[in-house]
Amino acid sequence: EVQLVESGGGLVQPGGSLRLSCAASGFTFSSYWMHWVRRGPGKGPVWVSRINSYGSSTIYADSVKGRFTISRDNAKNTLYLQMNSLRVDDTAVYYCVRRDFDSWGQGTLVTVSS
């Protein structure tokens, strides 16, 4: 069974940083491109970033470009999202999602507030 378990969310002040992790199991993690998707309160989902299976190619939504960095450790079956210069409008549940959007984690809540 495919499992994606996010962690690392929490409350942070504007301008602060957080690092999210996603532990993957039940499939060959190193073979799959992965995404981060977020959903703000009362809003629809927003695609954030994608990384290829090797970690050598990444792409970001304009809203996070230059502030967020996606990475992975295939030896640890773990996906990461380093979030810097956080803004109030980054407040959301962040989901780790497998390549074809067929498997989603339960999400981790990031709240940016003073």
Partner 1 sequence: QAVVTQEPSLTVSPGGTVTLTCASSTGPVTSGHYPYWFQQKPGQAPTALIYDTGNKHSWTPARFSGSLLGGKAALILSGAQPEDEAEYYCLLSYTGAWVFGGGTKLTVL
Indicate the residue among 43 and 76 with the shorter CB distance to partner 1.
43
Copy the structure tokens of residue 40: 């703000």
Can you spell out the DSSP letters for 20-51?
A: EEEEEESS-GGG--EEEEEE-TTS-EEEEEEE
Nearest Cα neighbor of 68 from 51, 54, 53, 48 is 48
Per CB under 8 A, does 54 bind partner 1?
no
Copy the structure tokens of residue 104: 């989603």
Per CB under 8 A, does 41 bind partner 1?
no
Indicate the residue among 18 and 98 with the shorter CB distance to partner 1.
98
In the stretch 82-101, what mask flags binding to partner 1 with x, by CB under 8 A?
-------------x----xx
Nearest Cα neighbor of 34 from 93, 106, 103 is 103
Supply the minimum distance, in Å, between the C-beta of residue 34 and partner 1.
13
Supply the minimum distance, in Å, between the C-beta of residue 60 and partner 1.
8
The SS3 call for residue 89 is helix
Name the site residues for partner 1 (rule: CB under 8 A): 35, 37, 44-47, 50, 59-63, 95, 100-102, 104-107
